[in-house]
Structure 1
Amino acid sequence: MYRALTGWTFALPFTVLFLLFTAGPVAVSLVMSVTDIRSADLLDPLGVEVVGFDNYVRLFTDPKFVRACVNTAVFVGVGVPLTMALALAFALGLNSGLVRFRTAFRVGYYLPVVTSIVAISVVWRFLLQPESGLVNELLSAVGIQGPNWLNDEAFALPTLIVMAAWRNLGFAMVIFLAGLQAIPRELYEAATIDGARRWAQLRHLTVPMLAPTMLFVAVITTIAYVQYFEEPFVMTQGGPLDSTLSMAHHTYNQFGFGNYGYASAMGYVLFVVVVGLSIAWFRLLRNNVDR
């Protein structure tokens, strides 16, 4: 009895904070998502009208929300494989033993991960300026006229994807590197004796052995990319012509406009998307993980 009471005593502060700042707001937002509550209704919450699933139906007839969903799908569909491919390539290079000063490279690749995304976005915005940005200056030095990266509808979203992949590859690289170092060297020695070349070893040995690691990286990266917000908020404000508007950014804007019920419905749709994609990754890679 005393031990149980001691345990609950230590758990009580976290439990109270969790209920107040996590579970409570989640429950309240679920209720709000089936109402038409706006900022003006906060003084009289009992007068709010319950609209059922009208907010959810309205979402998919809202061209702006549909565009945000498409942008987010492109960001995830291109950004996640790109980030994982780059991270795996860098991890393989560092794990090969042919690269000197590997610790310095690890720190350098990981540094963007621990740097404020807002600060990174501001720096990249200056680097991508059409006239005075370093990127276009380097391109002009070799005779190439650089585009207006952040104000051209054709380049804005791909630019954010590349920047996000650069920023996040350090985290995925460290995880992949840990997975590679856990693979017994004897397996590679046996494969070499059997005549397997590097590509065959990568395809039939490294990738299957890394399946659990790949699953973890895929799920974490997908969750982060579905919720991408800071990049368009700081660099493009969702433009040009909503070409970089994300689901999270659009939800934030609706809260700012005082459409709390509508924004809450958006938040729950985003939650369902995150859960659905996570389940899809688990099913896609489960067979390799269970081997």
Structure 2
Amino acid sequence: MKTNSKYKYTQKIAFAFLAPWLIGVVVFSLVPMIASLYYSFTDYDMFNAPQWVGMGNYIEMFNDARFIQSAKVTAHYVALGVPLQLIFALFLAVIISDKIPGFKIFRAVYYVPSLLGGSVAIALLWRQVFGIDGLLNNLLSSLGFTQFENISWINNPGSAVNTLIVLLVWQFGSCMVIFVSAIKNIPDTLYEAAEIDGAGPVKRFFKITFPMLTPIIFFNLIMQLISAFQAFTPAFIIGKGTGGFRDSILFYTLYLYFKGFTQYEMGYASAMAWFLLIVVGLLTLVLFGTSKFWVHYDD
């Protein structure tokens, strides 16, 4: 009996410590999610009582030209930016993992962009770098490419989203640190055996490093994919500073923000949020389903 009472007392203590977290999850995550799911089936402007419209918001989305444009821009941003970011992060991870002097300094410096990349300050800086009188145009002019002097890369519909992709790739630090840690855990005996067999650096990478890193690549791919779909700050700040929001950088989350907090169509915005959740969930399931063909584990 004493053992049971002691066990129950320990359970109560554990729940007491977990209570703040559980309350936070329920109040700030679970309840808003359930509410947004309900609102996605209603016409709701936050000032009047919601009116049930069923699937009306979801049907309206696919007849909305700006919604389709935002989906296209986001798909382009994710499909091009995430692979480039992972490739760049893996490339640098392999280089600085090769026992070079000052390894820890390089790792710290390369990680800094990941801490700053999503900030308002960096978005403002990016707007200046790719403006008409920005750093990029000054650099191109000094190299003799004077035809780009009067081009604002941010304002140009053909290049605006690509400047944001460059910003995404620049935030490679977190992926790189994870890759570096994984590379350090690969046994040196594998590389030594391959070197004895005459395998060069390129062959050692594709035969040893890359296969051993596929679980980490898979993890980074999932995390960066989810993060890229939620990109908001760079497009909001840069678009706001170029004389008006342009459809060329109309990210999905940006259009969701306009619908919910500018036009007060909260029902429509909630439907957009749930549609994004479904899309990201399906893509994640596809990646997990196909991982058995290219992700290699120890067993």
* TM-score calculated relative to the size of structure 1: 0.93
> Matches of 1:284 and 1:183 in 2, distance apart?
24
Q: Which residue of 2 aligns with 1:273?
A: 279
Deviations 1:5-37 (A, max 9, x none): 111111112111211111010100000000011
Q: Is the 8 A contact 1:87 1:173 kept in 2?
A: yes
Q: Is the 8 A contact 2:124 2:238 kept in 1?
A: yes
Q: How is 1:103-252 mapped onto 2 (pairs within 5 angstroms)?
A: 103-115=104-116, 117-131=119-133, 133-145=134-146, 146=148, 147-166=151-170, 168-237=171-240, 241-252=246-257
Q: Is the 8 A contact 2:130 2:163 kept in 1?
A: no
Letter in 1 for 2:130: L
Report how many residues are paired: 283
Cα deviation for residue 285 of structure 1 reads 2.5
1:66 is matched with which residue: 65, 68, 73?
68
Identical residues among aligned pairs (%): 33
Residues 75-84 or 138-147, more deviating: 138-147
Cα deviation for residue 173 of structure 1 reads 0.6
Q: RMSD in angstroms over aligned alpha carbons?
A: 1.5
Cα deviation for residue 39 of structure 1 reads 2.9
> Matches of 1:245 and 1:261 in 2, distance apart?
20
> Matches of 1:55 and 1:14 in 2, distance apart?
34
SS in 1 for 2:248: coil
Letter in 2 for 1:151: N
Cα deviation for residue 109 of structure 1 reads 0.8
> Matches of 2:245 and 2:153 in 1, distance apart?
10
> Matches of 1:10 and 1:138 in 2, distance apart?
57
> Matches of 2:69 and 2:168 in 1, distance apart?
20
Q: Which residue of 1 aligns with 2:58?
A: 56
SS in 1 for 2:91: helix
Q: Is the 8 A contact 2:96 2:103 kept in 1?
A: yes
Uncovered stretches (5+) of structure 2, i.e. residues with no partner? 1-7
> Matches of 1:13 and 1:40 in 2, distance apart?
31
> Matches of 1:286 and 1:228 in 2, distance apart?
29
Letter in 2 for 1:218: L
SS in 2 for 1:228: coil
Q: Which residue of 2 aligns with 1:35?
A: 42
Q: Is the 8 A contact 1:56 1:265 kept in 2?
A: yes
Letter in 1 for 2:110: Y
Letter in 1 for 2:232: F
Cα deviation for residue 40 of structure 1 reads 3.0
> Matches of 1:50 and 1:197 in 2, distance apart?
66
Letter in 2 for 1:280: V
Cα deviation for residue 240 of structure 1 reads 6.4
Question: Is structure 2 residue 263 aligned with structure 1 residue 260?
Answer: no
Cα deviation for residue 278 of structure 1 reads 1.9
> Matches of 2:274 and 2:61 in 1, distance apart?
11
Q: Is the 8 A contact 2:81 2:168 kept in 1?
A: yes
> Matches of 1:262 and 1:130 in 2, distance apart?
37
Q: Is the 8 A contact 2:132 2:152 kept in 1?
A: yes
Q: Which residue of 1 aligns with 2:5?
A: none
> Matches of 2:205 and 2:286 in 1, distance apart?
24
Letter in 2 for 1:57: I
* TM-score calculated relative to the size of structure 2: 0.90
Q: Is the 8 A contact 2:78 2:229 kept in 1?
A: yes
